[in-house]
Structure 1
Amino acid sequence: MSEQNNASVVGGKSFTAVAINCASKAGEWIKTKLGNYASLDIKYSSHDLVTEVDKGSERLIRNLIMTHFPQHSFLGEEGVEPGPAASTQALEDVREAEYLWIVDPIDGTTNFVHGFPFFCVSIALAHNGQVIVGVVYDPMKDELFVAERGKGAYVHGKRMQVSGEETLRGSLVATGLPADHQYALPLNLKGIEAVAPKVRNLRIAGSAAMHMAYVAAGRLSGFWEIGLSSWDIAAGSLLVQESGGVVTDTNGNPYQLGVRNVVASNGLIQRELIASLAEAKADK
């Protein structure tokens, strides 16, 4: 089958196969660089790091994707200037693309730098603005989370299902510490103060994409964070949705590529989590 014909099959196996291949190859290479990176730079804040491994991973992924689908558009974190305004503009610049690959070459760079084994490669494909393929690969555990729209989500080849907790009190919930210290971090800290006493426990492990994959797998009941970018959320959003969960912004509006303040959960605790953030004025 030619590349042109492959590209015309929305949700076709060719898309998913390429995404899996890219994530696996990048993840394998990243693992060989653990503790062996040559340069470390601060981007937007001390929470926002980049190494030559991030950039090399993105080049590898982009080159592979463009080999198969040269007519597709590509949005990767390392090709965008730091900061929320640049992230928003970068997405706006490619909004009209029919097929858009959205890539975070290492989600959890700070963890990678410190040898903390919680980071991943995140690759999503959107068709006319809707995510149709999502892949999150954890090279340290060799765990591949894969979703195709309408076909379910899988890890280790087994169908994923979100957890069954019905209240915050019985839930394990995750969040993050945003790189934007002026706007997003203070709001997220207010959210932590409000939510932590209401849940079974709270986790902050440093990778939004992995947190969302864990919601999809039923390991977390929910996740929220303020000030994320499309490459942090896109793949994970489909994993959660195809596992029976719900993804919205912090006001409860349905997920779309421009969402920066996200809440993802098993669906059962979604309203309670959103209400807790709103009550603390930690939602926007």
Structure 2
Amino acid sequence: MNFTKEDLINIKEKCRPFLIEAADFFADEDERAKIKVKSRNNFVTEVDLKVQEFLRKKLAEILPDAKFYAEEKDNEGIDLGDFLWILDPCDGTTNLIHDYKHSTISLALAKGGELLLGLVYEPHAKELFWAIRGGGAYLNDKKISVSKTLDIKSSIIGLGAGGARIGRAEETFEMIKDIFITSQGFRRIGSAALEMCYVAAGRTDGYLEEDLKLWDYAAGLLLIKEAGGLVLNFHGEDLSLERISGVICANKILIKELLKYKY
């Protein structure tokens, strides 16, 4: 099935109330307190599981033929070229545990290795960032675009440093130090999906993070591209649908300066 822009907008409209309803689980303090440790600084709560199961059922109603690729499930046997939903039920689980109100639901739709639709819902601010392939990027109903900042001296840069970098602390802090010295400042939200949305909306000028999973960045990748930006991996190549990748993103001029941090 080939999707038109109208088809994708219709799917987006069907998803919107489900994302809003699923985010009600974020407010449940008892469920947030049910924590399992997956690895150091990597947690799952009952909220993650309930959001994922709720959306699995609802998304199957919208597109019964699409497979379901999500953080809190076994994705073995799923080909990234399949027709599939890509879901992070709670991007920013550590934030959620601490009631630091920057957690999102990140959802993308892909087919044949190409992103068709991306949605990121941040319930605390009631902000829905969304994009469709070839149709632009939006915050709620307002079109958004990446910033026009052309040099790092005039920029603020989002940074991620997840648990996978704990063994590389000195290297990580050297990068942070360099950005701190050369830019107007750095920001760390704790949600890769939201960091990418902020770049798409021009709230920050760029963002870098390594060792992200597909569900972390899929929706944000489409949002930034549709907002006029560029997303590369840490080898300086165009980011495609990969199970694990680093992300460097900004507008098409500023990103040249951020490439100094690639491998």
TM-score by length of 2: 0.92
**Which stretch has the larger CA shift, 242-251 or 207-216?**
242-251
User: Could you say which residue in structure 2 is the equivalent of 1:84?
Assistant: none
Are the counterparts in 1 of residues 157 and 185 from structure 2 also a CA contact under 8 Å? yes
**Which stretch has the larger CA shift, 214-223 or 59-68?**
59-68
In 2, the alpha carbon distance for the partners of 1:156 and 1:180 equals 33
User: Could you say which residue in structure 2 is the equivalent of 1:241?
Assistant: 225
Aligned AA for 2:69? L
User: Could you say which residue in structure 2 is the equivalent of 1:109?
Assistant: 93
Cα deviation, residue 251, structure 1: 2.1
Structure 1 residue 65 corresponds to structure 2 residue 65? no
Structure 1 residue 260 corresponds to structure 2 residue 252? no
Structure 1 residue 37 corresponds to structure 2 residue 32? yes
In 1, the alpha carbon distance for the partners of 2:174 and 2:42 equals 20
Deviations, residues 113-145 of structure 1 (Å, cap 9, x unaligned): 111111110000011111110000000000010
In 1, the alpha carbon distance for the partners of 2:69 and 2:169 equals 25
In structure 2, the gaps of 5 or more residues are none
Structure 1 residue 272 corresponds to structure 2 residue 223? no
TM-score by length of 1: 0.85
Structure 1 residue 19 corresponds to structure 2 residue 3? no
Cα deviation, residue 175, structure 1: 1.0
Deviations, residues 154-178 of structure 1 (Å, cap 9, x unaligned): 1131110111111111111011121
**Residues 180 and 243 (structure 1 numbering): CA distance in 2 closer, same or farther, change over 3 Å?**
same
**Residues 10 and 94 (structure 1 numbering): CA distance in 2 closer, same or farther, change over 3 Å?**
farther
Structure 1 residue 93 corresponds to structure 2 residue 89? no
User: Could you say which residue in structure 2 is the equivalent of 1:129?
Assistant: 113
More strand per residue: 2
**Residues 19 and 186 (structure 1 numbering): CA distance in 2 closer, same or farther, change over 3 Å?**
farther
**Residues 219 and 191 (structure 1 numbering): CA distance in 2 closer, same or farther, change over 3 Å?**
same
Structure 1 residue 210 corresponds to structure 2 residue 205? no
User: Could you say which residue in structure 2 is the equivalent of 1:78?
Assistant: 72
**Residues 21 and 94 (structure 1 numbering): CA distance in 2 closer, same or farther, change over 3 Å?**
farther
Are the counterparts in 1 of residues 214 and 245 from structure 2 also a CA contact under 8 Å? yes
Deviations, residues 3-37 of structure 1 (Å, cap 9, x unaligned): xxxx642552333223323322212x234315652
**Residues 130 and 198 (structure 1 numbering): CA distance in 2 closer, same or farther, change over 3 Å?**
same
**Which stretch has the larger CA shift, 222-231 or 59-68?**
59-68
Are the counterparts in 2 of residues 166 and 268 from structure 1 also a CA contact under 8 Å? yes
Aligned AA for 1:202? F
SS in 2 for 1:16: helix
Are the counterparts in 2 of residues 145 and 156 from structure 1 also a CA contact under 8 Å? yes
Aligned AA for 1:210? L
| Aligned ranges 1:86-235 → 2 under 5 Å | 90=75, 93-97=78-82, 99-181=83-165, 187-235=171-219
In 1, the alpha carbon distance for the partners of 2:246 and 2:77 equals 17
Are the counterparts in 2 of residues 73 and 100 from structure 1 also a CA contact under 8 Å? yes
**Residues 187 and 105 (structure 1 numbering): CA distance in 2 closer, same or farther, change over 3 Å?**
farther
SS in 2 for 1:189: helix
In 2, the alpha carbon distance for the partners of 1:32 and 1:144 equals 17
SS in 1 for 2:197: helix
Deviations, residues 204-229 of structure 1 (Å, cap 9, x unaligned): 11000000000001000000101000
Are the counterparts in 1 of residues 67 and 85 from structure 2 also a CA contact under 8 Å? yes
Percent of residue pairs bearing the same amino acid type: 31
RMSD across aligned positions (CA): 2.0
**Residues 181 and 270 (structure 1 numbering): CA distance in 2 closer, same or farther, change over 3 Å?**
closer
In 2, the alpha carbon distance for the partners of 1:127 and 1:185 equals 37
Cα deviation, residue 188, structure 1: 3.6
